[in-house]
Every structure is written in C-alpha cells, then in structure tokens.
C-alpha cells in the first residue's frame, strides 16, 4: 500500500467511515444484470457528452465487456424490477445501448456490475473519471461540492484525490458560481480566468447580470469583471493603511475582506469598508500624536497620507544632537558592536569567495547581508532618537504624524509655517469643516465625463496634442531649468490609457456622446492599423504625415485623466481652455447622471437657479424619486452644468529647485520680511 492509500485509510478512520465506504465497494461481488435494467446515474459526475462510442461498441462486440460497471440502486423499482444507475462506466453503457439499438445484442444482455451504496457511487464516479480522461473543472467542482454535501471534509477530498487542500477550496468556490455560468463553463463558453473573477461574489443574480447583460464584449474580460465586483472596494496591497492598521485588526473590528482564493499572493483581498479602515488608522495615529504632543510642540496633526503639496508650505527648523545618558551610551555601543560584527562577517565571507569560488554557499551571502543591513538600520534609528530641538523651537513649530506609502509611521518634527492652510477660527482652534457640495464619488463621476470630453476634443487637434505632451515632458527633461514638479497632471505619459478608469467611475459612460464618438474613432484606427505588431513600424513610416499626426493626437488623448475626488483646480482646465471645450455638448443633467446622486434640497436649488424659484417650489413637497423625475424634465434644454464641470480654475503647481528670475527672488524676499 502506497503513502496516499495510508493517508486515505487514516482519514477515513478519523471520520468513522464504514469499511465499505472506505474501500469504495471493493468488498462487493460482481453480479450480472440485464442491460434493460441499467440507467445513467444522476450521481455520475461527468456531465459532458461521451465521445468515441462507436469504436468502443465495436470493441465490445468483438471481445466482450472486459471491465465491469459500478452501479447503485435507483429508487422506484423492487426485486427483479430494480433499476441500477451506472456511476462509473458511462461510455461503456452508451456503447452497449448503441449495440442494442442496432439489434446486435438483446435487451437482456447480461452486464457485469458491482453494486455499491449511493455514497460510494458518488466517490466511485469521481475516482474513475479523475483517474482516466481528465475531467472538465466544472464537473470536478460540482462533484467536490456533492461530497461536501454528503458530509465529507475538504481534507478527506484532498487526500482521496491527491490534490492540495487549496485546490479543493478553489473548486468549491467555483462550484458556488451561478448554475447558468457553470453550464456555460462546461461547454467552454467561458474561461477559467473569467470564472475565478466571477467567483469573487456569491450573488448568482449579480454574476449572471455581469455576464449575460454585458453591453460590450470587452466588459466580460476577467479584469473588468473583477473591477465591477470590487467597484466600491480597495485592493489591500494598494492602500498603505492596510499594512499600518493590520488586516487582522480591521477584521476584528467588523471589517470585511473579499478574499481571492485564486491569487498566489498572501495579501490578495479587497477592503470593503474603507471608512472603517481609515477610522482605525486615524485612532492609531491619534494615540501616537498624543505621545508626541507631550514633547511640548505648538501643534501636532495627523495625516493618512503624505501630501507633498502641503509639506511644501513648511520649513524644518535645524536640530542638534543631544548628549546621551550613561544607559543610552551603553545601549548605543552595544548596537554599534552588533553592527560592526555583522559587517565584518559579511566582509570576511565576500573575501573568502573572491579567493576561492568553491567557498560560496547558497543563501549564506543573503543571510549575512540581511543581518548587516538590519544591524545598521537599528543603529541609525537609535541615533535618530538623539535629535533634539530647543524649548523655544518646539513652542513655535509643530509636527505631522503621517502614514507613508509603505504603511509605516513618518514623523516630521519642527515644521515652521511658511504658508499655513488650516481651517482655524480667530482663537486658533480648528473650526468645523463646511460640508462639500458634492460627494467624492459624484465628483469622480462628473470629472470622468469631463475627461471624456477633453479626450474627444484633443484627438481632433494634433497641434494641441503635441503641445500638451511637450508641456508634460519638458520639465522632466530640463529639470535644471524648471526643477521637480509635484501635483496632478493633465495627462499620464507612462502610456497608460484612462479608458478603463472612466468606465469604472461612471456607469453611464457608455451613453456619453463623447465616449461614443471617441470609441468610434478608436474602432476606425483599429481597422486601419496592421494586424501584427511586427508590421506596425513599417506601416507608420509609410502612412503619411496626416495619418500619423491624427493617430498621434488620438494616442495622446487616450492618456488624458482628470478624474478627481475633489472639485478643485486641475491641470486639465488649461487644456480645456485651449480647446474651447463646451461641456453642454457632452453632458446633460438627468436622474442617472446627477439627480439620483444628490439630496432633494440640492435638486430644488438646481432647478431654482437653472429654471426659476417658482418652478422649484413644488419639488419640496415631493418624494425624492418624484422630485428627481420632475427636475429632469424641467432641466431639459437649460444647458445647466454642476460646479464641478464649470470650474475652470487652473491647478497650482509647486516647483522645487530650478532657476528663478531676479524678480521672483525679490518677491520672495519681500514675503520673508
């Protein structure tokens, strides 16, 4: 008996299976029953139609049935009339049935069978199909689920079929996808990647909607399916707050993580409750801030992310290194000794390898290098504790406690206000924040439509597209002149299109006039360009200036991305002014585009300003849905736009380094005074 059989026996004993169930019918004797009493078993896990029946039938006719079938009693018959379901041997049964149909054998033809219980029938069907021709994953998924429903454990299935527990979990997850989609999967009408994406949700109706109601073929891509399911969620690896708070802390606080069983990464999962995660992060930062506040600073504030624009408004006061206490000196020397020992060990190993390559051992260098690095970092961190400021400096400066991009705490001390942007009252206390006119989600939705409008206009003007690209590239190429720039940009030059993001931010984007026009242009270029990438360069060189200029403009337009969570100045507004973009040509206020996403009070204000106060008055007594429907009718033809789409304020760009004119220097000096 091999090791796998030992594992199966041990597992079976642990769940108190009967010997017959454990041996899967090995103790049953061969019996002969008439062919007419055999049926296809409902427990047979292979659902796809059998193939190669004709050849198998010829073989049986010539040589006889060389291997018995495995059957179980089917409810409904008694005694000699009992019918049996064939759970293992479906192709042989089909071949025998074909021979009987052709009159080559009689209905009473004796067939060798082994009768097993229903529970054994399911397992026998699984093992025979698993061991022979590879089963379709859809059949295996449903089979595993049936075994779980029979009371078997995932570990039992894992040992029985020689697959990992993770494989069992993944198959069970796929088995939970909509039956309609499973049937389609079995017929190869949907890929495994698409199925694993749909398995992120357990809602069958939502799964069916995403697949069967898809307006565009590309929206069925695995990537788009995942995006649709996790639209309001954030991938754990994409938010530093996950590492800062800890996913276990988040889950203990009631937060839900949508796990992806089909990912090979341990941190794969989607944060469903970002407000909770942000609240937990804020609380932890507040605790750290309280400890730092005891140091005597004028102010201490927390931030969930590092904002270069905000930090540029401050300068750091110079610090000094304070003298160590005796205990600190001893600790410092101990850390220094550990660092020196680790570095010496690394140097000695490197020297031995250089003298004789045979001395090199796998993994030794990495281990010594990591030890030296950690020891050096520990010494540096200890030394940083000795940085100090005078009481006078602390009284006139403050501290930011920030979560950095790695999910660690970053503490910026001794910051002196150069330009302070705080919501404070006359007494210096923080005043209550004014509620935003639009939610972040609605602003992203509206600015997605703004982006689509700019894209279609920019694609039609190659000269402007060239200027926009050069405007973006020059500060990076001529850094000695313009320095480093921080802040939003009108375009992204990493050759990343904003197409998918716009569809994600605005579910009504497909009906946008700008989107329809731009997609038509995209389809035109797709038809014109060569099929093979290898032929693209030659095509571009022969296409002519008019074609390449217009294609260039389309490509630049495809990178435009002005989606923003706030209604503030944005670099895209400069492009819009240059192009003369009229948003009324691309966006209209409807229930879907705007009115369903704001309060009834806001609807009344909009109608009052766009139509008249008299027209808006009846809306106040209506229910929200009725008010939105009436407002949609009243606003038709008014060309009203929300503030997000009328704001043409240019973004303030912060420069670091670079050359300044004398006039700028004089202005800075005057400000300093």
Angle of helix 3-14 relative to helix 154-161, nearest 10 degrees, comes to: 160
Average pLDDT over residues 529-547: 75
**Distance between CA 25 and CA 124 in Å, rounded?**
8
**Statement: residue 107 has pLDDT above 90:** no
Strands (E), 168-306: 234-235, 257-259, 269-271, 299-303
The average confidence (pLDDT) of the chain is 77
pLDDT in tens, 60-83: 887 788 788 888 888 765 556 788
The 10s digit of each residue's pLDDT in 360-414 is 666 788 888 888 888 888 887 887 778 888 888 888 899 999 998 888 898 998 9
d(C-alpha 135, C-alpha 125), whole Å? 11
Portion of the chain with pLDDT greater than 90, in percent = 11
Interatomic CA distance for residues 17 and 441, integer angstroms: 55
Closest CA to 491 of 451, 522, 549, 523: 451
Would you say residue 551 has pLDDT above 60?
yes
The DSSP code sequence of 382-434 is HHHTTEE--HHHHHT-EEEEEE-TTS-EEEEEEEEESS----B-TTSPBPPPP
How long is the chain? Answer: 673
Specify the higher pLDDT residue, 32 or 14. 32
At 252 the pLDDT is 92
What does DSSP say about strands 387-388 and 398-403: parallel, antiparallel, or unpaired?
A: unpaired
The 10s digit of each residue's pLDDT in 645-658 is: 888 887 665 444 44
Q: Which residues contact 182 (CB under 8 A, 6 or more apart)?
A: 138, 141, 142, 174, 175
Examine the pLDDT at 288 and tell me if it is beyond 90.
yes
431, pLDDT greater than 70 = no
Please state the pTM of the whole predicted model.
Answer: 0.43
Q: What is the enclosing helix (H) or strand (E) of 452? A: helix 440-458
Q: Provide the token pair at 47.
A: 């659902």
């Amino acid at each position: 008996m091999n090791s796998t059989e030992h594992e199966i026996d041990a597992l079976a004993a642990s769940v108190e299976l009967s010997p017959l169930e454990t041996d899967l019918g090995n103790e049953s004797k061969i019996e002969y029953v008439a062919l007419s009493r055999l049926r296809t078993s409902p427990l047979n896990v292979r659902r796809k139609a059998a193939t190669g029946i004709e050849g198998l039938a010829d073989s049986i006719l010539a040589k006889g049935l060389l291997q018995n079938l495995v059957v179980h009693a089917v409810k409904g018959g008694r005694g000699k009339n009992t019918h049996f379901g064939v759970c293992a041997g479906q192709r042989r049964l089909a071949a025998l049935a074909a021979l009987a149909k052709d009159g080559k054998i009689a209905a009473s033809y004796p067939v060798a069978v082994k009768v097993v219980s229903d529970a054994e029938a399911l397992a026998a069907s699984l093992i025979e199909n698993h061991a022979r021709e590879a089963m379709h994953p859809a059949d295996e998924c449903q089979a595993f689920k049936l075994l779980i429903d029979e009371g078997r454990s995932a570990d039992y299935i894992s040992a029985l079929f020689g697959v990992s527990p993770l494989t069992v979990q993944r198959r069970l997850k796929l088995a939970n996808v909509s039956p309609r989609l499973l049937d389609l999967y079995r017929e190869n009408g949907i890929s495994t990647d698409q199925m694993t994406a749909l398995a992120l949700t357990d809602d069958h109706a939502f799964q069916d909607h995403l697949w069967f109601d898809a307006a565009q073929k590309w929206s069925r891509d695995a990537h788009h399916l995942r995006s649709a399911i996790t639209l309001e969620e954030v991938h754990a690896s994409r938010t530093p707050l996950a590492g800062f708070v800890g996913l276990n802390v988040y889950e203990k606080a009631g937060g839900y993580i949508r796990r992806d069983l089909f990912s090979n990464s341990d941190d794969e999962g989607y944060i469903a409750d970002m407000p909770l995660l942000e609240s937990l992060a804020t609380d932890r930062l507040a605790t750290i801030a309280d400890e730092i506040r005891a140091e005597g600073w004028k102010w201490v504030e927390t931030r969930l992310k590092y904002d270069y624009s905000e930090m540029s408004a401050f300068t750091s006061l110079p610090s000094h290194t304070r003298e160590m206490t005796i205990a600190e000196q001893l600790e410092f020397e101990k850390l220094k000794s550990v660092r020196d020992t680790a570095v010496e060990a690394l140097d000695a190993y490197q020297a031995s390898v250089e003298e004789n390559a045979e001395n090199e051992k796998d993994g030794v260098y990495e281990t010594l290098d990591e030890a030296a690095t950690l020891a050096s970092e520990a010494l540096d961190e200890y030394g940083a504790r000795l940085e100090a400021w005078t009481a006078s400096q602390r009284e006139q400066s403050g501290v930011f406690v920030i979560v950095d991009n790695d999910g660690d705490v970053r503490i910026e001390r001794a910051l002196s206000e150069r330009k302070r942007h705080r919501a404070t009252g006359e007494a210096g206390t923080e005043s209550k924040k004014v509620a935003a006119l639009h939610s972040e989600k609605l602003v992203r939705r509206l600015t997605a439509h703004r982006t689509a409008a700019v894209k279609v206009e920019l694609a039609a003007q190659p000269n402007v597209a060239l200027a926009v690209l050069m405007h973006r590239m020059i500060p990076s190429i001529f850094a000695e002149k313009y320095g480093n720039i921080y802040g939003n940009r009108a375009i992204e030059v990493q050759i990343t299109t904003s197409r998918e993001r716009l569809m994600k931010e605005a579910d009504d984007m497909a009906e946008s006039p700008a989107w329809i026009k731009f997609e038509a242009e995209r389809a035109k270029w797709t038809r014109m360009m060569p099929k093979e990438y290898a032929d693209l360069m030659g095509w571009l060189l022969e296409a002519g200036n008019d074609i390449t200029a217009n294609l260039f403009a389309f490509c630049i337009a495809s990178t435009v991305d002005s989606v923003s969570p706030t209604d503030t100045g944005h670099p895209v507004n400069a492009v819009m002014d240059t192009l003369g973009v009229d948003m009324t040509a691309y966006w209209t206020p409807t229930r879907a585009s705007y009115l369903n996403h704001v309060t009834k009070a806001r609807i009344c204000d909009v109608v009052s300003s766009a139509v008249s106060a008299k027209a808006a008055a009846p809306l106040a007594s209506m229910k929200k849905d009725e008010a939105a429907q009436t407002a949609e009718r009243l606003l038709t033809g008014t060309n009203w736009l929300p503030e997000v789409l009328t704001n043409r304020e240019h973004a303030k760009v912060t420069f670091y380094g670079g050359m300044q004119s004398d006039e700028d220097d004089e202005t800075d000096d005057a400000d300093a005074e």
